[in-house]
Structure 1
Amino acid sequence: MLRGRRAECEALERLLRAVRAGESRALAVCGEAGMGKTSLLEYVVERAPGCRVARAAGVQSEMELPFAGLHQLCAPMLGSLQRLPAPQRDALATAFGLSAGPAPDRFLVGLAVLGLLAEVAEQRPLICVIDDAHWLDHASAQALAFAARRLRAESVALLVAARTPEVTAEWSGLPQLVLTGLSDDEARALLKAAVPGVVDERILDRIVAETRGNPLALLELPRGMSPAELAGGFGSPRATAIPQQIEDSFRRQLTPLPVDTRELLLVAAAEPVGDPVLVWRAAQGLGITVAAAMPAAGLVELAAQVRFRHPLVRAAIYNAATPQERQDVHRALAEATDPEVEPDHRAWHKAQSAPGPDEDIAADLEQSAGRARARGGLAATAAFLTRAVELTPDPQRRAERALAAAKATHQAGSPDTALNLLSIAEAGPLDELARAHVLHVRGQIVFAQQRSRDASPLLLQAARRLEPLDVPLARETYLDALRAGRFAGSLGHGVSVREMAEAAAGAPPAPHPPQAADLLLDALAVRYTDGYAAAAPMTALALRAFRDAHICGEEGLHRFHLVCMIAMDLWDHETWHLLSRRLLRLAREAGALTTLHMALAARSLAHTYTGQLAEAAALAEEQETLTEATGRATGSRHESHSALMRVAWQGREAETAQLIDDITAEALKRGEGLSLTIAGWAQALLFNGLGRYEDALTTARQARQQTAEGAGGWEALVELIEAAARSGETDEAADALTLLSQMTRASGTDWALGVEARCCALLSTGHVAETAYLEATDRFARARIQGELARAHLVYGEWLRRERRRLDAREQLLTAHEMFTAMGMEAFAQRATRELQAAGGTARQRPVESHTELTTQEAQIARLVREGLTNNEISVRLIISPRTVEWHLGRIFSKLNITSRRQL
Structure 2
Amino acid sequence: MYGDMFRGGYPINVRTAGAAVSTRTDPVRRGRVLVDRRTEAQALDRLLDDVRAGESRALVLRGEAGIGKTELLRYLRGRAGDHRIVPAAGVEAESGFAFAGLHQVCVPLLDGLRRIPEPQRVALTIAFGLDTGRPPDPFLVGMAALSLFAETARERPLLCVIDDAQWLDRSSAQVLGFAARRLQAESVALVFAVRDGGDRTEAPELAGLPELLVTGLPEAAARALLASAHAGPVDGGVLDRIIAESQGNPLALLELPRGFTPAELAGGFGLLDSVPLPSRIEESFRRQIAVLSPTARQILLTAAAEPVGDPVLVWRALDRLGVDVDTDPASRAATEEFVTFGARVTFRHPLLRSAVYRAAGAADRRRVQQALAQVTDSATDPDRRAWHRAQATVGEDEEVAAELVRCAARAQARGGPAAAAAFLARASELTPDPARRAQRLLAAAEAEYQAGLPERSVRLLARAEAGPLDEVARAHAYLLRARISFTLDRGVAAPGLLLRAANRLQPLDPRLARETYLEAMQAGWFVGDGGPGPTLRELAAEALAARAAPDPADACDLLLTGLAVRYRDGFPAGTPLLREALSQLAAGPGDEAGLRWLWFAATCAMDGWQYAAADTITDAFVARARRSGTLTALPLALAQRIVVQVFTGELAAADGLVHEFDAVRASTGLDEPSYATQLLVAWRGAEDATAELVAATTKEATQRGEGLGVAAGGWALAVLYNSLCRHDEALAAVLPAAESDADLGVVTWCSLVELITAAARLGRNELAADAVARLRTMTQAAGTDWALGLEARCQALLATDPEPHYRSAVDRLAGTPIRGELARTRLHYGEWLRRQNRRADARRQLRGAYEMFGDMGMTAFAARAARELGSTGETVRRRSGGNAADLTPQEVQIVRLVRAGLSNVEIAARLFISPRTVEWHLSKTFAKLGVTSRRQLRR
Q: Are residues 76 and 61 of structure 1, via their aligned partners in 2, closer, same or farther at CA, if it must alter by over 3 Å?
A: same
Name the counterpart of 1:744.
779
Partner of residue 158 from structure 2, selected from 108, 113, 126: 126
Name the counterpart of 2:498.
459
The 2-side partners of 1:701 and 1:889 are apart by: 46
Q: Does structure 1 residue 500 correspond to structure 2 residue 532?
A: no
The 2-side partners of 1:184 and 1:721 are apart by: 70
Name the counterpart of 2:278.
243
Question: What's the offset of the Cα at 1:17?
Answer: 4.1
The 2-side partners of 1:191 and 1:735 are apart by: 82
Name the counterpart of 1:614.
652
Q: Are residues 575 and 450 of structure 1, via their aligned partners in 2, closer, same or farther at CA, if it must alter by over 3 Å?
A: farther
Q: Does structure 1 residue 135 correspond to structure 2 residue 170?
A: no
Letter in 2 for 1:522: T
Q: Does structure 1 residue 782 correspond to structure 2 residue 815?
A: yes
Question: What's the offset of the Cα at 1:858?
Answer: 4.2
Name the counterpart of 1:284.
319
Partner of residue 680 from structure 2, selected from 640, 646, 651: 646
Partner of residue 409 from structure 1, selected from 445, 448, 451: 448
The 2-side partners of 1:428 and 1:282 are apart by: 38
Name the counterpart of 2:627.
589
Give the alignment's TM-score, normalised by structure 1.
Answer: 0.94
Q: Are residues 525 and 792 of structure 1, via their aligned partners in 2, closer, same or farther at CA, if it must alter by over 3 Å?
A: same
Give the alignment's TM-score, normalised by structure 2.
Answer: 0.91
Q: Does structure 1 residue 180 correspond to structure 2 residue 223?
A: no
Q: Are residues 677 and 224 of structure 1, via their aligned partners in 2, closer, same or farther at CA, if it must alter by over 3 Å?
A: same
The 2-side partners of 1:578 and 1:467 are apart by: 33
Name the counterpart of 2:19.
none
Name the counterpart of 2:862.
829
**Aligned 8 A contact 2:656 2:893 in 1:** yes
The 1-side partners of 2:48 and 2:735 are apart by: 62
Q: Are residues 22 and 530 of structure 1, via their aligned partners in 2, closer, same or farther at CA, if it must alter by over 3 Å?
A: closer
**Aligned 8 A contact 1:490 1:710 in 2:** no
Question: What's the offset of the Cα at 1:486?
Answer: 1.1
Name the counterpart of 2:556.
517
State the SS of the aligned residue for 1:223. Answer: coil
**Aligned 8 A contact 2:58 2:181 in 1:** yes
**Aligned 8 A contact 2:653 2:893 in 1:** no
State the SS of the aligned residue for 1:413. Answer: coil
Question: Following superposition of structure 1 onto structure 2, how do residues 651-670 of structure 1 map, counting pairs within 5 Å?
Answer: 651-670=685-704
Question: What's the offset of the Cα at 1:317?
Answer: 0.6
State the SS of the aligned residue for 2:876. Answer: coil
**Aligned 8 A contact 1:224 1:253 in 2:** yes
Letter in 1 for 2:295: D
Name the counterpart of 2:806.
773
Letter in 1 for 2:459: N
**Aligned 8 A contact 2:51 2:57 in 1:** yes
Question: What's the offset of the Cα at 1:279?
Answer: 1.9
Question: What's the offset of the Cα at 1:895?
Answer: 4.3
Letter in 1 for 2:698: T
Q: Are residues 695 and 143 of structure 1, via their aligned partners in 2, closer, same or farther at CA, if it must alter by over 3 Å?
A: closer
Q: Are residues 510 and 409 of structure 1, via their aligned partners in 2, closer, same or farther at CA, if it must alter by over 3 Å?
A: farther
**Aligned 8 A contact 1:677 1:706 in 2:** no
The 2-side partners of 1:470 and 1:628 are apart by: 38
Letter in 2 for 1:775: S
Q: Are residues 594 and 797 of structure 1, via their aligned partners in 2, closer, same or farther at CA, if it must alter by over 3 Å?
A: same
Query: CA RMSD for the aligned pairs?
Result: 2.4
Q: Does structure 1 residue 293 correspond to structure 2 residue 332?
A: yes
State the SS of the aligned residue for 2:934. Answer: coil
Question: What's the offset of the Cα at 1:350?
Answer: 1.9
**Aligned 8 A contact 1:20 1:155 in 2:** yes
State the SS of the aligned residue for 1:810. Answer: helix
**Aligned 8 A contact 1:30 1:162 in 2:** yes
Question: What's the offset of the Cα at 1:459?
Answer: 0.7
Letter in 2 for 1:837: G
Question: Following superposition of structure 1 onto structure 2, how do residues 309-320 of structure 1 map, counting pairs within 5 Å?
Answer: 309-320=348-359
Question: What's the offset of the Cα at 1:543?
Answer: 0.5
State the SS of the aligned residue for 1:160. Answer: strand
**Aligned 8 A contact 1:677 1:707 in 2:** no
State the SS of the aligned residue for 1:177. Answer: strand
Name the counterpart of 1:271.
306
**Aligned 8 A contact 1:757 1:775 in 2:** yes
The 1-side partners of 2:925 and 2:840 are apart by: 46
Deviates more, 1:116-125 or 1:64-73: 116-125
Q: Are residues 816 and 6 of structure 1, via their aligned partners in 2, closer, same or farther at CA, if it must alter by over 3 Å?
A: same
Question: Following superposition of structure 1 onto structure 2, how do residues 201-350 of structure 1 map, counting pairs within 5 Å?
Answer: 204-230=239-265, 234-291=269-326, 293-350=332-389
Q: Are residues 289 and 206 of structure 1, via their aligned partners in 2, closer, same or farther at CA, if it must alter by over 3 Å?
A: same
Question: What's the offset of the Cα at 1:770?
Answer: 3.0
Deviates more, 1:170-179 or 1:303-312: 170-179
Name the counterpart of 1:4.
35
Question: What's the offset of the Cα at 1:852?
Answer: 5.3
**Aligned 8 A contact 2:369 2:392 in 1:** yes
Q: Are residues 511 and 404 of structure 1, via their aligned partners in 2, closer, same or farther at CA, if it must alter by over 3 Å?
A: farther
The 1-side partners of 2:835 and 2:474 are apart by: 67
Letter in 1 for 2:309: G
Q: Does structure 1 residue 169 correspond to structure 2 residue 194?
A: no
Name the counterpart of 1:117.
149
The count of residues paired between Structure 1 and Structure 2 equals 897
**Aligned 8 A contact 2:259 2:287 in 1:** yes
Name the counterpart of 2:408.
369
The 2-side partners of 1:184 and 1:247 are apart by: 23
Question: Following superposition of structure 1 onto structure 2, how do residues 348-747 of structure 1 map, counting pairs within 5 Å?
Answer: 348-509=387-548, 514-553=553-592, 555-630=593-668, 632=669, 636-637=672-673, 640-708=674-742, 713-747=748-782
Letter in 1 for 2:852: M
Q: Are residues 643 and 9 of structure 1, via their aligned partners in 2, closer, same or farther at CA, if it must alter by over 3 Å?
A: closer
The 2-side partners of 1:42 and 1:798 are apart by: 71
Question: What's the offset of the Cα at 1:698?
Answer: 4.4
Q: Are residues 660 and 208 of structure 1, via their aligned partners in 2, closer, same or farther at CA, if it must alter by over 3 Å?
A: closer
Name the counterpart of 1:30.
62
State the SS of the aligned residue for 1:452. Answer: coil
Superimposed CA distance per residue, residues 132-158 of structure 1 (whole angstroms, 9 cap, x where no aligned partner): 111111111222222223333333332
Q: Does structure 1 residue 865 correspond to structure 2 residue 903?
A: no
Name the counterpart of 2:29.
none
The 1-side partners of 2:886 and 2:798 are apart by: 48
Question: What's the offset of the Cα at 1:373?
Answer: 0.6
Name the counterpart of 2:15.
none
Superimposed CA distance per residue, residues 480-518 of structure 1 (whole angstroms, 9 cap, x where no aligned partner): 111111111122213111111011111133597711111
State the SS of the aligned residue for 1:97. Answer: coil
Q: Are residues 338 and 714 of structure 1, via their aligned partners in 2, closer, same or farther at CA, if it must alter by over 3 Å?
A: same
Question: What's the offset of the Cα at 1:61?
Answer: 1.2
State the SS of the aligned residue for 2:156. Answer: coil
**Aligned 8 A contact 1:498 1:528 in 2:** yes
Deviates more, 1:237-246 or 1:664-673: 237-246
Name the counterpart of 1:874.
907
Deviates more, 1:491-500 or 1:796-805: 796-805
Question: What's the offset of the Cα at 1:566?
Answer: 0.7
Q: Are residues 708 and 116 of structure 1, via their aligned partners in 2, closer, same or farther at CA, if it must alter by over 3 Å?
A: closer
Question: What's the offset of the Cα at 1:821?
Answer: 2.2
Name the counterpart of 1:762.
797
Question: What's the offset of the Cα at 1:30?
Answer: 2.2
The 1-side partners of 2:176 and 2:771 are apart by: 55
Q: Are residues 725 and 44 of structure 1, via their aligned partners in 2, closer, same or farther at CA, if it must alter by over 3 Å?
A: closer
Q: Are residues 136 and 187 of structure 1, via their aligned partners in 2, closer, same or farther at CA, if it must alter by over 3 Å?
A: same
Deviates more, 1:822-831 or 1:12-21: 12-21
Deviates more, 1:19-28 or 1:446-455: 19-28
The 2-side partners of 1:49 and 1:558 are apart by: 50
Letter in 2 for 1:596: L
Question: What's the offset of the Cα at 1:231?
Answer: 5.2
Question: What's the offset of the Cα at 1:896?
Answer: 4.2
